[in-house]
Structures are given as C-alpha cells and as structure tokens.
Amino acid sequence: MTRVANQHGAINLAHGFPDFDPPEELLVALEKTTRGPFHQYAVTWGAPRFRQALARKIPRFTGLAVDPDQHLVVTCGSTEAMMVAMMTACNPGDKVIVFSPFYENYVADTILSGAEPIYVALRPPDFAFDPDELRRAFQQRPKALVLCNPSNPSGKVFTREELLYIAKLAAGLRDGAAGGDPLGAQGP
C-alpha cells in the first residue's frame, strides 16, 4: 500500500511514520550499548539481563509477579509473539474473535494457525462493540479473542466496563456456561 500510495501521491494510511525522533536518552543509551560486550548470540528465549529487567518492570505496570526464567520469552517484535501465542493457543478448526477494523496481521495469524476468525464490529464514532454481537460470538465457543488496546487502526481505547464485559464472557466460557449463553441469564 505504501508503494501504491507513493505512486499516486495519495495520503498513506497504510504505514505509521512518526513525525518525531526517538528520545535523546534512548539514543545515548543505544550508542553506549554498542560499545559493550553484547555482540554474541543470546540464549534463544532472551538475554538473562534483559529478562531480569523486564521482570522488575512488569509488576509495576500489571501487579503480576514474574519469574524471568519461568515466565518470559523475548521475541523478534510483537509480530512473532502474536504468531507464537496464536499457534500455542489454537488448533485447526478453532475460532478466534477479532474486533474489526483490525491490525492486518491478526487475521493472518488466525488463518495460519488453522483457526477461523469471527469478526465483531467496532462502530464509529467511539468504536464501541455491540454487547449482544460479542455475546453471540462467544456462543460459538472461541478459543481466543484478540484485544489490541489501544487499537490499531481505530485508536479505540476499551473502557473498563467493556473490558469487564469481555472478561465476564471469557469466564463464562471457561466455566462451561457457553454451551448456551456465556452470561447465563444474567445479561451484561
């Protein structure tokens, strides 16, 4: 799309180009790091010092205790992480809920895992989902739901209420209620 947009002088909505440089502190740290003894292959699931630093950071943001050797794998970007997660979670024939519009790789990840996407619309102006549509999607017993928050490309930030509703449907599915309705008779 970038090549075609350039060819026609169109506004390119296919590719994000930040109009600012990375923070100076980051550039200085990066330069310093290139002078260190860091030029050999790391262990394949991530350099220990990096995983240890992540294990110190993650609890501050999530409240989750993380063991750097048991719980962390460093991937080459989030594209690889998503693909690994999808192939771990899904078997051929499974279903995956994808909010639409979606970041392009999510459906490719789903299909490459042999799973089938169930699209749930996010509708402008606030890109909210219809609770009944999501409930119907959960009735198909999906194996996974892709939650991109804030979402690319809409920029939608899911509200606490929406996240709790998604969690409630997921818990209902886990607890086996979704042969019928993941929320039972309770409603949202």
Site residues for ligand PLP per CB under 6 A: 16, 77-79, 103, 148, 152
Residues in the chain: 188
Residue with the shortest CB distance to ligand PLP:
77
Question: What minimum distance in Å lies between the beta carbon of 78 and ligand PLP?
Answer: 4
Rounded to the nearest whole angstrom, what is the least distance from the CB of residue 136 to ligand PLP in the complex?
Answer: 25
> Based on CB atoms, which residue is closest to ligand PLP, 119 or 136?
119
Handedness of CA 105, 129, 168, 155 (dihedral sign): positive
d(CA 188, CA 185): 9
CA distances, 26 to each of 2, 5, 21, 40 (Å)? 28, 32, 10, 22
Cβ nearer to ligand PLP, comparing 15 with 32? 15
Contacts of 105 (CB under 8 A, 6+ apart): 79, 82, 83
Q: Which positions ≥6 away from 163 have C-beta within 8 Å? A: 149
How near is the Cβ of 101 to ligand PLP at its closest, in Å? 11
By C-beta, is 16 or 92 nearer to ligand PLP? 16
Least CB distance from residue 71 to ligand PLP, whole Å? 20
DSSP character for 128?
Answer: B
Cβ count within 10 A of residue 52 = 14
Q: Which is nearer to ligand PLP, 30 or 171 (CB)?
A: 30
11 vs 185 by CB, closer to ligand PLP: 11
From the CB of 88, what's the least distance to ligand PLP, in Å?
17
